[in-house]
């Protein structure tokens, strides 16, 4: 009908008909609407729906409450004294959390509290169906916040080759000081044993190495379980949760018996693409490089850095001990 308006245009433009064509094409194509309460669109597994509290990790440091731009986090608590536990030990004071509440009527879901929490006590959960008819009920108290932990996903698996979180051990792996060139032996650095060694830790392996190996083994277990779950047809979220649980079990358990890592040449390892040296070998490489650097007269810090790099190169694509 508006084809007349085309007459004004010198070109007899087809714009109007083109527009009609577009709307017609859209009309006959499928609507994108998801009928929410009846069907639920698949959310990304790490959607930020609600903030969950892991109460036992909270130390009442108040960082979240202070950083919250909306001041919607309420923390109350009190100090308790713990009597001295034995001869010569001090009595200690510690914090007890009485109330932790988030007012979701105020919250703007910026997630700063989750970011800022130094003790992993706050997490994002993908739950979002907690609308209320009464605004006061949007203040979730501790029980409810803890309840959201049910659906909190474990942290994502690390990227290949990425270092896990720093785990502070009493005996950091420091290459033997320059004054100890004889330290070519496999286990020279256990000067301060610190906490009793974890079960299954083989002699000749530092605490940090052991932790790293366990983590690597755990990552393998996790990937395997994840793939199995996906193959079984589980949802990605469920597969991820189950594989995480499997990893945790694997990490808690002692290392697989395959560990010992004799100081021989690295196995060719045909199954995995990147065949790196075993951790023990790599540590040996590190020490060697360190000594060379020191011998060249490098600054100890530089020597440490270069030796570490050499070790990482040696271990690149580290396969788990069980692999």
Partner 1 sequence: MVTTLHHILANSIVLLALKLGILLLLLPATLVVGYVELKVMAHMQHRLGPMYAGAYHGWAQTLADGLKFIQKEDIMAAATDRTVFSMVPYITMLGAALTFVVIPFSRHGVIANLDIGLFYALAVSSISVIGVLAAGWASANKYSLMGGLRAAAQLIAYELPLVLAAAAVAMQAGSLSLVSIAEAQRYVPFALWAQPLGFLIFLAAATAEVSRTPFDMPVAEAEIITGAFTEYSAMKFAFGLFAAEYIAMIGMSALAATLFLGGYVPLLPQLRFVPGPVWFLIKTGLLIFLLIWIRWTFPRLREDQLQKFAWKVLIPLSLVNIFVTGALKLAHWT
Least distance (Å) from partner 1 to the CB of residue 35? 6
Give the nearer residue to partner 1 in terms of CB position, either 21 or 118: 21
Report the nearest approach of partner 1 to the CB of residue 32 (Å).
5
Compare residues 1 and 199 and give the one whose CB is closer to partner 1. Answer: 1
Nearer to partner 1, 35 or 265 (CB): 35
Residue 18 C-beta: closest distance to partner 1, Å: 10
Nearer to partner 1, 9 or 99 (CB): 9
Q: Closer to partner 1 at the Cβ: 7 or 170?
A: 7
* Residue (31 or 179) nearer to partner 1, CB: 31
Residues near 217 by beta carbon (within 8 Å), at least 6 away in sequence = 250, 251, 255, 256, 320, 321, 322
Q: At what angle do helices 207-232 and 236-252 cross, to 10 degrees?
A: 150
Query: Least distance (Å) from partner 1 to the CB of residue 20?
Result: 5
Cα separation of 135 and 159, whole Å? 42
Cβ atoms of 103 and 138 within 8 Å: the answer is yes
Of the pair 20, 135, the CB lying nearest partner 1 is at 20
Whichever of 6 and 242 has its CB closer to partner 1, that residue is: 6
CB 131, min distance to partner 1, A:
18
Tokens of 214: 């366990």
Instruction: Give the interface with partner 1 as residue ranges (CB under 8 A).
Output: 1-5, 7-8, 16, 19-20, 22-24, 26-33, 35
- Measured from the CB of residue 132, what is the shortest distance to partner 1 in angstroms? 22
Closer to partner 1 by Cβ: residue 27 or 192: 27
Three-class HEC string of the chain: CCHHHHHHCCCCCCHHHHHHHHHHHHHHCCCCCCCCCCCCCCCCCCCCCEEEECHHHCCCCCHHHHHCCCCCEEEEEEEEEECCCCCCCCCEEEEEEEEEEEECCCCCCCCHHHHHCCCCCEEEECCCCCCCCCHHHHEECHHHHHHHHHHCCCCCCCCCCCCCCCCCCCCCCCCCCCCCCCCCCCCCCCCCCCCCCCCCCCCCCCHHHHHHHHHHHHHHHHHHHHHHHHHHCCCHHHHHHHHHHHHHHHHHCCCCCCCCCCCCCCCCCCCCCCCCCCHHHHHHHHHHHHHHHHHHCCCHHHHHHHHHHHHHHHHCCCCCCCC
Give me the residue label for tokens 């060694």.
Answer: 197
């Amino acid at each position: 009908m508006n084809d007349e308006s085309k007459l004004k245009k010198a070109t007899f433009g087809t714009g109007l008909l083109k527009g009609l064509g577009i709307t017609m094409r859209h009309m006959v194509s499928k609507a994108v609407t998801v009928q929410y309460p009846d069907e639920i669109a698949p959310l990304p597994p790490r959607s930020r729906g609600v903030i969950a509290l892991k109460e036992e990790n909270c130390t009442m440091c108040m960082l979240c409450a202070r950083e919250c731009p909306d001041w919607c986090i309420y923390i109350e608590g009190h100090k308790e004294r713990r009597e001295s536990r034995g001869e010569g030990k001090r009595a200690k004071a510690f914090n007890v959390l009485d109330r932790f509440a988030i007012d979701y009527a105020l919250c703007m879901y910026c997630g700063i509290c989750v970011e800022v929490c130094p003790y992993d006590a706050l997490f994002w959960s993908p739950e979002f169906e907690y609308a209320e008819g009464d605004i006061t009920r949007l203040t979730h108290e501790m029980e409810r916040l803890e309840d959201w932990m049910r659906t909190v996903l474990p942290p994502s698996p690390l990227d290949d080759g990425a270092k896990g979180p720093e785990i502070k051990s009493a005996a950091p792996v420091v290459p033997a000081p320059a004054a100890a060139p004889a330290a070519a032996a496999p286990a020279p650095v256990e000067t301060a044993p610190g906490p009793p060694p974890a079960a299954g830790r083989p002699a000749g392996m530092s605490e940090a190495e052991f932790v790293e190996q366990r983590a690597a083994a755990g990552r393998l277990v996790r990937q395997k379980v994840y793939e199995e779950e996906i193959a079984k047809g589980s949802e990605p979220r469920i597969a991820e949760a189950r594989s995480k649980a499997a990893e945790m079990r694997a990490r808690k358990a002692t290392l697989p018996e395959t560990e010992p890592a004799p100081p021989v040449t690295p196995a060719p390892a045909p199954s995995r693409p990147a065949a790196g040296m075993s951790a023990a070998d790599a540590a040996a490489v590190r020490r060697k490089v360190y000594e060379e650097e020191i011998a060249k007269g490098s600054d100890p810090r530089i020597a440490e850095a270069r030796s570490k790099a050499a070790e990482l190169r040696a271990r690149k694509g580290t396969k788990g001990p069980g692999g």
